[in-house]
Amino acid sequence: MTKPTGRLHRWLDSWPVYRQLTGPDRTGRGAAAQSPRSRQLHARTSAAEPPARSVCPYCAVGCAQLVYTKDGRVTQIEGDPASPISRGRLCPKGSASLQLVTGPQREQRVRYRAPYATEWSDLPLDTAMDMIADRMLDARRRGWQDTDADGSVLRRTMGIAGLGGATTDNEENYLFKKLWTAMGAVQIENQARI
């Protein structure tokens, strides 16, 4: 069979049966059946921007992750083969990082529960921060201890407590400890005590 050319060829070639009869794939189960979409399939990471080099947020093995983005959105997270720790591999939790970061379970807005309320309500972030700062200073003052029973200096507050840090960056923990200590707060703990 001689092959037609030009537009007719392209039109005919889009028809799998024609491809099967004219091409080498006589059973019609291979190249002839391949759809244009299949032919053009590519990994979504190949079109992405260069990945950010990151670290898995779950356990403390410290597996390296590559975070692929497109148009300001995370499109894929997978292991970084260059890592001497993980060699590109991830466990099921690390492999679920994309869902962790992009899933609908992520809260995006401040939620506020007023005393005695039975439901959440909305609150602007800035207002929330002002309210929290006011409450911190108030609780700090109310829980203040200058000295113990023997007169030893304490200069601390027991009115506020903090918990958390094992999921937080070193730089953030540093600011937490620094601010907390300057406030005179000693009750600060994290998962390491557990």
First to last CA, the chain: 77
Please state the closest distance from residue 3 (CB atom) to another protein, in A.
Answer: 15
**Is residue 43 a contact point for another protein (CB under 8 A)?**
yes
Q: Which of 4, 12, 13, 76 binds another protein (CB under 8 A)?
A: 76
**Is residue 123 a contact point for another protein (CB under 8 A)?**
yes
CA distances from 130 to 78, 121, 133, 173 (A): 39, 17, 5, 22
Calpha distance 167→55 (Å, rounded): 12
Q: Which of 9, 10, 11, 57 binds another protein (CB under 8 A)?
A: 57
Angle at alpha carbon of residue 114, lines to 112 and 120, rounded to 5°: 45
Count of residues that bind another protein according to CB under 8 A: 150
- Closer Cβ to another protein, 5 or 38, answer by number: 38
Give residue 51's identity as a one-letter amino acid code: P
Backbone angles phi, psi at 145, to 5 degrees: -130, 120
**Is residue 9 a contact point for another protein (CB under 8 A)?**
no
Per CB under 8 A, contacts with another protein among 145-184 are: 148, 150, 152-184
Per CB under 8 A, contacts with another protein among 129-148 are: 129-139, 142-144, 148
